Amino acid sequence: MSKNRVLIFDTTLRDGEQCPGASMNLREKLAVARQLGALKVDVIEAGFPVISDGDFAAVQSIAKQIKGPQIAGLARCVPKDIDAAGAAVKPAGKRGRIHVFLATSKIHREHKLGKAQDEILRLAVEGVKRARKYVKDVEFSPEDGSRTEPDFLVEICKSVVKAGATTVNIPDTVGWAVPDEFGDLISHLHENVPEFQTGKAVISVHCHNDLGLAVANSLAAVRAGARQVECTVNGIGERAGNAAMEEVVMALKTRKNFYRGFSCGLDTKEIVKASKLVARMSGLGVQRSKAIVGENAFAHSSGIHQDGILKKRETYEIMNPKHVGWGKTELPLTKHSGRAAVAARLKHLGFKMNAEEINSIFAKFKEIGDKKKFVYDDDLAALVEGHITTVPETWALDYLNVSTGNQTVPTATVRLTKKDGKKTQVEQDASIGDGPVDASLKAIDRISKTKGTLMDYTIRAVSQGKDALGEVTLKVDFGDGDLVVGKGASTDIIEASARAYLNAVNRYLNNGRKGRKRRHRQP
Ligand code: KIV
Ligand code: ZN
């Protein structure tokens, strides 16, 4: 591999998924992992296997099904974590990676771990050695690396590389670093650890965005010798998030003249698709003005700019939007389109579905086709994603009637069905509320015997036109402090809201209440 090749380690499914309310189910994670495969990222960090049965299953399934990238599982320097990660990544064979981490900074050593430097060194080395029993590809992260004494960090790097680590990742765990300082730290490590110069081990960086510097710090690190960047799609992650993958990749590509030939192997045309998928699956929408993937990223409103673009695109556009996947619009489908056309479009959009699933999507497509003139690719993607995010339907919406107006007390009548073996239970109730959405959600609460507090609610038009599908994403707290995401789409926004809420209720009844058993706290 070229000395200037920068590996992209995507942690959307691990650090990204740690974002409150962003948790995804297995099918959602698989859909994201498949798209990361299409993007050709080098490593997918698929989860933290010891943390819950769900995380273990996700890492294992991704290791089994996704070909191409290395598949990594996270572990603390604790035998049971490493054993779980080893078992979870096993189906990936030689593409399995174990990522072990242990905090090294003074503040973490003294206040969190109560351990001295030599004890930390010993545990780090033991952890790496244990991981090497499972896989050849072992990454070690000294957590809070950017606040660790530089010379102790050199000692740690040398020891873990000697113990068998092939990548040492320097995390800026709390987003404390600034570019010049972080670049200097990476140069210091590069100069003092011979294996980083010979290429026997790779320096990686993992930057958080608390000061909005995650991408800048990552790029400074690349110039100083880092050859792996850890990042997430749309920059989602703990607190203010991680370095945004699309920004790192496009900065290296667009500013090749400055980054002297550094390259990554990504298929950048898959970026927008990945961004939209992650936004839908995680429930974390993308800000309109977000670089590269925001709706406005390539929208020029000023007349002077528009004029310049028409004369020569490069006057105001430093990247070609097509190179990141914008603007590939296909002819919309209509209610006259047949099953084969819908199946072909689903395949083109990258959705892997069996015949039964295509039939079910086709039925929903026909319903929507009757209500709106054109069914765009985004409409179809919303239908499929609604299908993927579906949890077992404890309660299904059968009937919804609302009465509302500026002189009326908003009232909703809801009928839900519950399947219990062969028996179908039908329950109906009504409620008043501040508005038709509030009334509908309250009626659902009365029937399902849940009490959710709406913490976040967003609605967006999936495609263009007054008849566009409205897609509602909401986050609900059912009283245990965990945020449960719900999604629903319909041409009627009250129905979309009721469906999204019901999706959250079902998710809670299937995972939440029974416990998405987090066995350990995440880092
Ligand atoms: O931010 C961090 O330090 C991490 C490590 C587990 C790499 O996420
Ligand atoms: Zn992190």
Q: What is the pLDDT of residues 178-226, one digit of tens each?
A: 999 999 999 999 999 999 999 999 999 999 999 999 999 999 999 999 9
In short, whether 141's Cβ falls inside 6 Å of ligand 1 is yes
User: Relative to the alpha carbon of 105, which ligand is closest?
Assistant: 1
Question: How much distance in Å is there from the Cα of 339 to the middle of ligand 1?
Answer: 46
Contacts of 420 by beta carbon, 8 Å cutoff, 6+ apart:
none
Question: How much distance in Å is there from the Cα of 464 to the middle of ligand 1?
Answer: 40
User: pLDDT tens-digit profile of 388-398?
Assistant: 766 677 899 99
What's the pLDDT at 514?
Answer: 42
What's the pLDDT at 308?
Answer: 79
Count Cα atoms within 13 angstroms, Cβ side, for 328: 14
Residue 519 is given by DSSP the state -
* CA nearest to 487, candidates 476, 503, 498: 503
Question: How much distance in Å is there from the Cα of 206 to the middle of ligand 1?
Answer: 7
CA torsion sign, 122 to 117 to 45 to 281? positive
The closest-lying atom of ligand 1 relative to the alpha carbon of residue 242 is 1
Provide the token pair at 236: 């989602």
Strand partners, 488: 472
Question: pLDDT confidence of 521, banded at 50, 70, 90?
Answer: very low
The closest-lying atom of ligand 1 relative to the alpha carbon of residue 101 is 6
522 pLDDT exceeds 60?
no
SS3 141: strand
Residues 326, 272 contacting (CB under 8 angstroms)? yes
- Least confidently predicted of 232-236, 351-355, 433-437: 351-355
Residue 408 is given by DSSP the state S
CA distance 459 to 486: 12
| Placement of tokens 């990548």 in the chain | 167
| Placement of tokens 């998924």 in the chain | 17
CA distance 290 to 295: 8
CA distance 375 to 369: 6
Provide the token pair at 183: 């670049």
Biggest CA–CA distance in the chain, Å, is 77
* CA nearest to 210, candidates 184, 183, 172: 172
CA torsion sign, 283 to 289 to 294 to 299? positive
Residues 98, 143 contacting (CB under 8 angstroms)? no
515 pLDDT exceeds 70?
no
Per the document, the length of the chain is 523
248 pLDDT exceeds 80?
yes
Residues 116-126, mean pLDDT to the nearest whole number: 98
What's the pLDDT at 329?
Answer: 57
Residues 295-303, mean pLDDT to the nearest whole number: 80
Question: How much distance in Å is there from the Cα of 363 to the middle of ligand 1?
Answer: 44
Question: How much distance in Å is there from the Cα of 2 to the middle of ligand 2?
Answer: 27
User: Relative to the alpha carbon of 171, which ligand is closest?
Assistant: 1
- Least confidently predicted of 23-37, 110-124, 347-361: 347-361
In short, whether 155's Cβ falls inside 6 Å of ligand 1 is no
CA distance 497 to 477: 16
160 pLDDT exceeds 70?
yes
Of 75 and 22, the structure prediction assigns the larger pLDDT to 75
CA distance 454 to 469: 22
Question: pLDDT confidence of 60, banded at 50, 70, 90?
Answer: very high
In short, whether 81's Cβ falls inside 6 Å of ligand 1 is no
331 pLDDT exceeds 60?
yes
CA distance 236 to 290: 12
Give the global pTM.
0.83
Q: What is the mean pLDDT of the chain?
A: 91
Of 459 and 327, the structure prediction assigns the larger pLDDT to 459
In short, whether 101's Cβ falls inside 6 Å of ligand 1 is yes
CA distance 134 to 129: 9
Provide the token pair at 66: 């996704």
Strand segments, DSSP code E, in 61-178 are 70-76, 96-103, 137-143, 167-172
Residues 169, 230 contacting (CB under 8 angstroms)? yes
Question: pLDDT confidence of 26, banded at 50, 70, 90?
Answer: confident
Q: Which domains does the chain have, with CATH numbers?
A: 7-282 (3.20.20.70), 297-326 (no CATH), 339-388 (no CATH), 396-514 (3.30.160.270)
In short, whether 15's Cβ falls inside 6 Å of ligand 1 is yes
User: pLDDT tens-digit profile of 488-506?
Assistant: 888 899 999 999 999 899 9
Provide the token pair at 138: 């072992």
In short, whether 56's Cβ falls inside 6 Å of ligand 1 is no
Of 379 and 321, the structure prediction assigns the larger pLDDT to 321
What's the pLDDT at 3?
Answer: 83
Strand partners, 416: 397, 427
221 C-beta neighbours (distance < 10 Å), count: 31
